[in-house]
Structure 1
Amino acid sequence: MTAGGHGYRPVRMGRLESQWTTVHGLSMHARVSIGSVPPDAPRVVLVHGVGISSRYMVPTAVRLAPDYRVFAPDLPGFGKSVKPPHVLNVRELADALRAWMDLNDVHEAVLIGNSLGCQIISDLAVRYPQYVLRAVLQGPTVDPQGRTWRQQLVRWLRDSQREPPSQAVIMLRDYRAAGLRRVIRTFQYTLDDRIEERLPRMRNPTLVVRGTRDPIIPQRWAEEATRLLPNGKLVVIPGATHTINYAAPLEFVRVLRPFIDGACSHLPEAGA
């Protein structure tokens, strides 16, 4: 399915504030929406990718904030969160996210991830399904046919030329804050992780989202990942890159809203 761009209502903008939570003795930072939403509004958790913080989730978060309770945590070691003594692998990052959700009373949430965030969400959904009401895997890594440093670096360089220049500023700042060792080690954990082995065990409704200009996630892999999911659906956004959450938030939110609200079968068609 391809997401079109016509007949969509204007998107209101919400506000976020910083919040700190002590998780396993370490302070975790999160950007949290403020303002009144209906008491039964879904809770939405945005999960960032490798080395970067929740900062690049802000364009999507503020567009969801008027209607949902939105949380965008910095996972341990990244952004404003404290660095743990060792670099956490995918499973440990998922455990930290689960603990943070517990402490903030965020259960049965809609989890939206980009890149490595998708791997973390898939791990959480398989081991702790009660936390994941619905999942959005936007640009899910790693393509099994591209699981080498060289392949990923080539794809990443291609994508970086297509992303907004402002994203490079955020990325470099966040990489510097995390430290080179942590970024490299986390990337290795990303390559070692086998998301394709977990996807068939994700029972919750799951939306896979890909941009047509994303060289990191080929269409072939996006389709394969969707087929592996027992309850999956694929939406392709024309012209979008790997970080749709930052570079194309309007189009992304258009796809997200009906899915968050439970209307997966009514996602917008091309030209709708």
Structure 2
Amino acid sequence: MTAEIVQRRIGRLNVRETGPPDAPPVVLVQGLGLSGAYLVPLARRLAAAHRVLVPDLPGLGRTPRPPRPMGVTGLAGALATWLDAARLHRVALVGHSIGAQVAAVVAANAPARVDRLVLAAPNGDPDARAPWHQALDLLRDAPREAPSLVPLAVADYLHAGPWRMWRTLRTSARLDLAGYLRRVQAPALAVRGEHDPLVSEEWIRTIAGLLPAGAALTVPGAPHGIAYTAAADLAAHLIPFLRQDQPVCPTSWTSQPLPSGSVKDRNVS
């Protein structure tokens, strides 16, 4: 049975929600320029054991635009404020792409609020840090994604505004991500897709090394849009990691062989 998605306003943000209301909460944080719509396949797969919330950050999706473009730390502040409005006192945060930076800043600044942290396809790789370099890599990544992601992303990008997206991307390139990662206290997992041109294997291992309780994982066959195109494979790894009654051992998190067939044929629904 497909988990129902409910949209409503909580505080100042539009939110998609699914899963049992009394289950441990998981908050999904979207990438640059995107609404939470593309995270729905992942949310549905996590909903059996979690209350999953996907807020549209300021200026994205159905949440109104702020007067000026927001950088990573501004978006993190908006997310932290929203956690108060939603009365979410302790959550698991799953950030994708630039949303991984946003989630990391929240986890570093409010360690008592975050009990698990997932950084999926985290940008900031020194080999692809310049904004123009990241833009080119996104174009290279597009043919590897599920075909349905491209029109969804284009519509969201146009709504968010290319100039605002560019300003946010520039701030992400200047963020002292290493400084924030060292302050994260929650068990954390850095995940990349095997075919992600923006995030190298070396980069996620570097991230895991900076985190006090970090682990690295590469998902075979997955592209940058791992939270959409490879939602089923990503969820299969996240479900045991997010279990609050299980200890987290970094050495236990290794990639597993995938069934035959392409990622984008298997995972999007």
Q: TM-score, normalised by structure 2?
A: 0.89
Does structure 1 conserve the Cα–Cα contact (< 8 Å) formed by 2:56 and 2:63?
A: yes
Relative to structure 1, the CA distance from residue 268 to residue 229 in structure 2 (aligned partners, 3 Å threshold; closer, same or farther) is closer
Amino acid in structure 2 at the alignment position of 1:49:
G
Alignment of 1:1-272 (within 5 A): 13-23=2-12, 28-33=13-18, 36=20, 39=22, 41-262=23-244, 263=246, 264-265=248-249, 267=253, 270=256
| CA distances 1:163-205 after superposition (whole Å, capped 9, x unpaired) | 1121111111101111222112111122222212221111110
**Higher RCO (Cα < 8 Å, 6 or more apart):** 1
Stretches of structure 1 lacking an aligned partner (at least 5 in a row): 1-11
The share of aligned pairs that are identical, in percent, is 35
CA distance in 2, matches of 1:268, 1:107: 30
Q: CA deviation at 1:267?
A: 4.7
SS, match of residue 244 in structure 1: coil
CA offset at residue 269 of structure 1? Answer: 5.8
Cα deviation 1:111-162 (Å, max 9, x = unaligned)? 0010111101111111111221110000111112322133212322211121
Q: In the aligned structure 2, how far is the partner of 1:191 from the partner of 1:132?
A: 24
Q: CA RMSD in A?
A: 1.7
**1:270/1:206 CA distance change after superposition, 3 Å:** same
Paired residues, what number?
254
- Is the 1:18–1:32 contact (alpha carbons within 8 Å) kept by the matching residues of 2? yes
Q: Structure 2: any 5+ residue segments left out of the alignment?
A: 259-269
In the TM superposition, what is the alpha-carbon distance from 1:247 to its structure 2 partner? 0.4
Tell me, yes or no, if the aligned pair for 2:205 and 2:215 is still in contact at 8 Å.
no
Deviates more, 1:250-259 or 1:185-194: 185-194
Aligned letter for 1:201? R
